[in-house]
């Protein structure tokens, strides 16, 4: 595939950058439709590494058993953000005060699932960027 150049000739195809800019630009005023700000199913979740302590606590309550959700206060006390959550180990959970081995296993199992989801999203992003690059050059 060749690189498109934007010549003054109106019949020439636009550059990849011009195509990207055209996609970004909002429709003309007469074409615009009022948009309500609701979450769509295609909205991407916030990346785990950007989670706050509150986000990590919310994740714990949603994905772990009711018993494990009681450790939410420990996540607050130890300031477990998303970045810390992705790196946490059985030993660090034990040092945080989670004594029950089954609870630690449950939390770690859910954390491993979350790591996999995060990795899959990043791989898809890289594939998408690679496809954009290949289509432009």
Residue-wise pLDDT tens digits, 59-99: 999 998 788 878 999 999 999 999 999 999 999 999 999 99
Q: Where does the pLDDT of residue 10 fall: very low under 50, low under 70, confident under 90, or very high at 90 and above?
A: very low
Buried/exposed 16-31: b ≥16 CB within 10 Å, e otherwise? eeeeeeeeeeeeeeee
Residue-wise pLDDT tens digits, 31-67: 555 555 555 556 778 889 999 999 999 999 999 878 8
pLDDT at 20 over 80: no
pLDDT value for 65: 78
pLDDT value for 5: 44
pLDDT value for 36: 58
pLDDT value for 42: 66
Q: In the chain, what are the domains?
A: 48-133 (1.10.150.50)
Q: For the whole model, what pTM was predicted?
A: 0.62
Q: Where does the pLDDT of residue 3 fall: very low under 50, low under 70, confident under 90, or very high at 90 and above?
A: very low
pLDDT value for 83: 94
DSSP for 88-121, written as a single string: --HHHHHHHT---HHHHHHHHHHHHHHHHHHHHH
pLDDT value for 131: 85
* Higher-confidence position of 22 and 94: 94
- The CA distance from 124 to 118, in Å, is 10
């Amino acid at each position: 595939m060749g690189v498109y150049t934007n010549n003054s000739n109106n019949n020439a195809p636009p550059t990849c950058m011009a195509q990207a800019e055209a996609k970004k630009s909002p429709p003309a005023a007469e074409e615009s439709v009022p948009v309500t700000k609701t979450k769509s199913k295609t909205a991407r979740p916030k990346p785990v590494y950007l989670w706050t302590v509150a986000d990590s606590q919310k994740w714990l309550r949603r994905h772990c058993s009711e018993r494990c959700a009681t450790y939410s206060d420990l996540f607050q006390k130890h300031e477990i953000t998303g970045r810390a959550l992705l790196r946490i180990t059985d030993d660090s959970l034990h040092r945080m005060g989670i004594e029950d081995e089954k609870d630690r296993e449950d939390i770690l199992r859910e954390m491993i699932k979350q790591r996999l989801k995060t990795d899959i999203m990043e791989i898809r992003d890289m594939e998408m960027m690679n496809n954009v690059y290949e289509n432009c050059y």
